[in-house]
Amino acid sequence: MRYTGFTPHSKQRDMINSILSSDALYHVACVGRQFGKSLMGINLALYWAINNNGVKVLWISPIYAQTSKVQKEIMAAIGASGLVKSCNYSENNITLKNGSEIIFRSAEKYDNIRGLTCQFGILDESAFMKSDAWTEAIRPIFLTASNKTGIKPKILFTSTPKGKNWFYDLFQLGNSPDHPNYKSYTGSSYDTPYIDTASIEDAKRTLPTNVFQQEYLAKFIDSGGEVFTNLERLQTKPTQKSPYFIGVDFGKSNDWTVAIVQDWDGNIVDWYRDQKSEWTQMIDHIAQLAKKWNATVMCEVNGVGDPLFEDLRRKYYNTYPFITTNKSKQEIIEGLILDVNNQEIGLPPRAEFPAIWSEMETFTYDYNPNTRSIKYSHPPGLHDDTVIALAIVNYNRKQKRSSGYAVIGGMR
């Protein structure tokens, strides 16, 4: 029998047709998140194993948890089909009745891969594997394979890019007419009908531009890591509009204490930044600033009963807490990214408030491909208190603009 598998969407179909009909050994698919990379790889693995007798197909994921998930997904798809002879979750393989075997390995312990001989390979999320895993352990597996069976081996690399690493080099080979043994393919998250465009658009608005381009459009970006770009466009307007808001980030240990005053339209109109004074002096200073602008103050707290917050509130009653957690911080930073991109924030001239410029320019993120999560931070040795104070005041202002108050974290 011939196995036809799932119904690919049109971009998957183009890639699969090309991979199956081409003579190239290496097929490099650089595609965006949720495109259906893994599903396409699973189906090609099955296609190769079922439609050829006695071949070995090697599936490799960056980490072990991913390989065992794929093995389970494959068994869910074909376990009841009558094709499977045995499935072993400790040796991580599935043997079919036609003598073919699908072998699952992770690239994190690539020494375990050495010594295999396989005709077909799928390296899912290749950009997240070490280049040594490919060159030293995985690549040799396919070099002797054709001698054994007469079948021409094929290897599929699928991944969302991760900067310009070895996956980028492979992808370039696949685009070069001088390397007919390599073929490259591209696809973005917009190409799959299985995720709705609204969720991609939402990601586009709230992610740093280069993260969006890499993750969703599958672009190879230089890893500058900037979160905020095109800041020059953000000019504070000469007119100021009440009411006013303040965001406070108290600097613990070596950090700075920063309070930023924003007007109703998002313009930064005043600020206070101090690292050296006693807490009581800093709190007095912030209370003065709040009175001057008759502002609603929102102040970072790390938990219930934060003494600095309580002291400030005693001096200036219109003060509310913003409870910082990774999640709440992420939300207000994303809100700030959105407003920076939409030019709904006004920054004072660089010479007047240099800290906000330098901190926004260097503010960066760590992207974790396994959890698909972003953690925002400042580079080592630099600060981000000004950015956090701005994110808090901006959140404070937008809460008021949209409907009165609802504090993230629920403490009031």
Binding of Mg ion by 126 (CB under 5 A):
no
Please identify, using beta-carbon distances, which residue of 33 and 273 lies nearer to Mg ion.
Answer: 33
Applying CB under 5 A, the span of 37-45, 109-117, 225-233, 357-365 interacting with Mg ion comes to: 37-45
Residue 377 CB-half CA count within 13 A: 9
Q: For ligand ATP, what does the binding mask look like between residues 172 and 211, x meaning CB under 6 A? A: --------------------x-x-----------------
Contacted entry of Mg ion, ligand ATP, none for residue 371, CB cut-off 5 to 8 Å set by kind? none
Say which entry of ligand ATP, Mg ion, none residue 33 contacts (CB below 5 to 8 A, set by partner kind): ligand ATP
In whole angstroms, give the CA distance from residue 333 to residue 391.
6
Which residue matches tokens 């800041």? 231
Taking the C-alpha atoms of residue 132 and residue 30, their distance in angstroms, rounded to an integer, is: 20
Residue 219 binds ligand ATP, judged by CB under 6 A: no
- Which one-letter amino acid corresponds to residue 230? N
Regarding 128 and contact with ligand ATP (CB under 6 A), the answer is no
| CB neighbour class for 102 (10 Å; exposed up to 12, middle 13-18, buried from 19) | buried
**Residue 35 binding result from Mg ion, ligand ATP, none, given CB thresholds of 5 to 8 Å by partner type:** ligand ATP
What's the rounded Cα separation, in Å, for the pair 46 and 71? 11
If contact means CB under 5 to 8 A according to the sort of partner, which of ligand ATP, Mg ion, none does residue 6 touch? ligand ATP
320 DSSP β-pair partners: 298
Shortest distance (Å) from residue 226 CB to ligand ATP: 23
Q: Minimal distance in Å, beta carbon 345 to ligand ATP? A: 32
- Residue 6 within binding range of ligand ATP, rule CB under 6 A: yes
Q: Looking at beta carbons, which residue is closest to Mg ion?
A: 38
Residue with tokens 């979750």: 89
Query: Taking the complex as a whole, how short is the minimal distance between the CB of residue 38 and ligand ATP, in angstroms?
Result: 3
The string over 159-184, giving b where at least 16 C-beta atoms fall within 10 Å of a residue's C-beta and e elsewhere, is: bbbbbebbbbebbeebeeeeeeebbb
- For position 38 contacting Mg ion by CB under 5 A, the verdict is yes
The correct pick among 8, 54, 140, 409 for binding ligand ATP (CB under 6 A) is 8
Query: Which CB sits closer to ligand ATP, 85 or 372?
Result: 372
* Total chain residues near ligand ATP (CB under 6 A): 15
From 16, 34, 184, 297, residue interacting with ligand ATP (rule: CB under 6 A): 34
Q: Which stretch binds ligand ATP (CB under 6 A): 30-38, 226-234, 242-250, 359-367?
A: 30-38
Backbone φ, ψ for residue 248 (5° rounding): -120, 130
Q: Which of 37, 105, 273, 329 binds ligand ATP (CB under 6 A)?
A: 37
List of residues 6+ apart from 96 with CB closer than 8 A? 49, 50, 83, 84, 85, 102
Task: Please identify which residue in 15, 19, 24, 35 interacts with ligand ATP, judged by CB under 6 A.
Answer: 35
Q: Which DSSP category does 136 fall into?
A: I
Query: Exactly one of 39, 45, 58, 360 binds ligand ATP (CB under 6 A); which one?
Result: 39
HEC secondary structure over 229-251? CCHHHCECCCCCCCCCEEEEECC
Contact (Cβ atoms closer than 8 angstroms) between residue 287 and residue 312:
yes
Number of residues written out for the chain: 412
In angstroms, the CA 272 to CA 110 distance is 53
To Mg ion, the closest distance from the beta carbon of 356 in angstroms equals 39
Select the binding partner of residue 9 from ligand ATP, Mg ion, none (C-beta < 5 to 8 A, by kind): ligand ATP
**CA distance readout (Å), 103 to 25, 58, 189, 291:** 19, 5, 29, 69
User: Among all residues, whose Cβ is closest to ligand ATP?
Assistant: 36
- The phi and psi torsions of 119 (rounded to 5 degrees) equal -95, -30
Q: Toward Mg ion, which CB reaches closer, 38 or 192?
A: 38
Q: Write out the residues near Mg ion by the rule CB under 5 A.
A: 37-38
Q: Write out the residues near ligand ATP by the rule CB under 6 A.
A: 6-9, 12, 33-39, 160, 192, 194
